[in-house]
Amino acid sequence: MNSHRHSTGHEHEIEPQHGLPEALPSGERLLWQGSPQRRRIALDVFHLRAVAVYFVLLLGFRFALVQYDTGSVAQALVSTSWAAACFAIGLGLLWLLADLTARTTVYTITDRRVVMRIGIVLSLTFNLPYQRIACAQIRRRADGSGDLVLELLTEDKIAYAHLWPHARPWRLAHPQPMLRALAAVDEPAALLTDAWLAAQPPGERVQVGAVSNSGAQELVQSAPMGHAQTV
């Protein structure tokens, strides 16, 4: 499992191949590439809706407090307007972070590995060969979007801070890379499943389509013959 650092070129214009630190070697096939949805990153990662509700409650409290202290609705409106402008700037910054996260992220699935190019200021690329992926889960939403969660072998570990926000939330001890906010998650999920199964060496026991305790659909799971592996 390797991590490559890109140079600081804007919009990754110096990449030898889009989303990759180097051109694919001969014999390796590109199956799929995609990026997160900006809206879902804003809602799921930066919790834009929850922050907006919190700001609205603060504004309501501020308006009521000023109006009670001064007895003037006009003064309460003026006071609240200044606070609303500051809150709007804050929400705009969160949306900008979501936009930058989506635009600087490229997920790649080949017939040999999953590649994650992430990072706004410092770009990192993680190569995840199928032999180092223990299992994968799909988290599907009603609109067809969703996430792909990759669980690495126990001996492999990427720091949570290096992966965030492309990591399964709260899995700090053994971080799990996550292809987040995919617009149509079923297509890359099917390609990942087929490629992962094809890459397994003979003698591996595999399971496809099981359901984990969390409710997420288990795409693939492997364990050496004769050894049980639980989810």
Each residue's pLDDT tens digit, 119-157: 998 889 999 999 999 888 999 998 999 999 999 998 898
Run of H or E residues at 161: helix 160-163
10-residue averages of pLDDT along the chain (231 residues): 45 72 91 96 96 96 89 87 93 97 96 95 92 90 92 91 94 94 94 89 58 54 37 26
pLDDT at residue 206 in the model: 57
pLDDT at residue 217 in the model: 64
With contact defined as beta carbons under 8 Å apart, do 118 and 126 qualify? yes
pTM: 0.81
- Give whole-number Cα distances, 160 to 72, 74, 89, 177, in Å: 50, 49, 29, 9
pLDDT at residue 10 in the model: 45
With contact defined as beta carbons under 8 Å apart, do 127 and 177 qualify? no
With contact defined as beta carbons under 8 Å apart, do 53 and 63 qualify? no
With contact defined as beta carbons under 8 Å apart, do 118 and 124 qualify? yes
